[in-house]
Amino acid sequence: MLRKKSIAVVGILALAIACMQNEQDKIIRVQEEEQTSFDVSKFTGNINRDGRMIVEEVSEAFAGFLGKSIAEHGVLGSIGFCNENAFPFMDSLAHYYGVNLKRTALRYRNPDNKPDTLDRIMLENMEKEAAQGAEPGPKSIKFSSGESVYYSPIIMKPLCLQCHGIKMRGDIQDEVWAKIRELYPEDVAYDFNLNELRGAWGVLFPNEYRARRGKPDPIAIPK
């Protein structure tokens, strides 16, 4: 898929329309055509390149999913909609690419996204980079089992502020806040600023990935 240029979007509806017209429509077409697997010939065999490609496409598709939900249900209605549908949507994308996908964060909303030990190491390394004034970069590592995992930072965008922004500043409306607390009593995923590190995407490549495509690639191990 050709990489799209970044688009500055003002307002929820504009973002929803932009997303809905590209990646969300792509996913719908995939489902209608009953295409259940990704063309592995597009994989290069390099975890960093292939991980970046998947994250770029999945994050745009997920933004389209959220944008479509907000356009149809509003911010308040989208909280319940996403609570019920986000994981099935993610599972369908993971199945399409033949990988395992996750979203994780140190300050998570859904306890199912709570970081495991490796997630925490990667996230803390990204936070360290951000604290030093650097842009958090992707990380990848290969396990002795032959599996590989790629992590890519999730950065706060304008749309995210309505559910993850600073409560005292008025980013999150009172009724939205009440719904979040109802559905996610353990929620700590708020009081984020624009462009702040929110969490990370994780892409786990199965051990047969390298046999299917490409040569071993260098692995970036966080210090």
Q: At what angle do helices 25-32 and 47-97 cross, to 10 degrees?
A: 50
**CA 75 distance to own-chain centroid:** 19
DSSP three-state, residue 44: coil
Q: Which two tokens stand for residue 99?
A: 């990988």
Q: What pLDDT does 217 receive? A: 39
Q: Which two tokens stand for residue 168?
A: 């005292």
Phi-psi group of 208: left, alpha or beta (phi > 0 → left; psi -120 to 50 → alpha; rest → beta): alpha
Nearest CA-CA partner of 93 in 151, 24, 177, 188: 24
Q: What pLDDT does 67 receive? A: 87
Query: pLDDT by residue for the chain (223 residues), tens digit each?
Result: 333 333 222 222 233 333 334 444 444 343 444 445 677 778 888 899 999 999 999 999 888 888 888 999 899 999 988 888 888 988 998 988 999 999 999 999 999 999 999 999 999 999 999 999 999 999 999 888 889 999 999 999 998 999 999 999 999 999 999 999 999 999 999 999 999 999 999 999 987 775 555 443 333 333 3
Q: What pLDDT does 212 receive? A: 54
Question: 173: burial class by Cβ within 10 Å (0-12, 13-18, 19+)?
Answer: middle
Beta-bridge partners for 199: 154
The CA angle 26-162-17, to the nearest 5 degrees, is 30
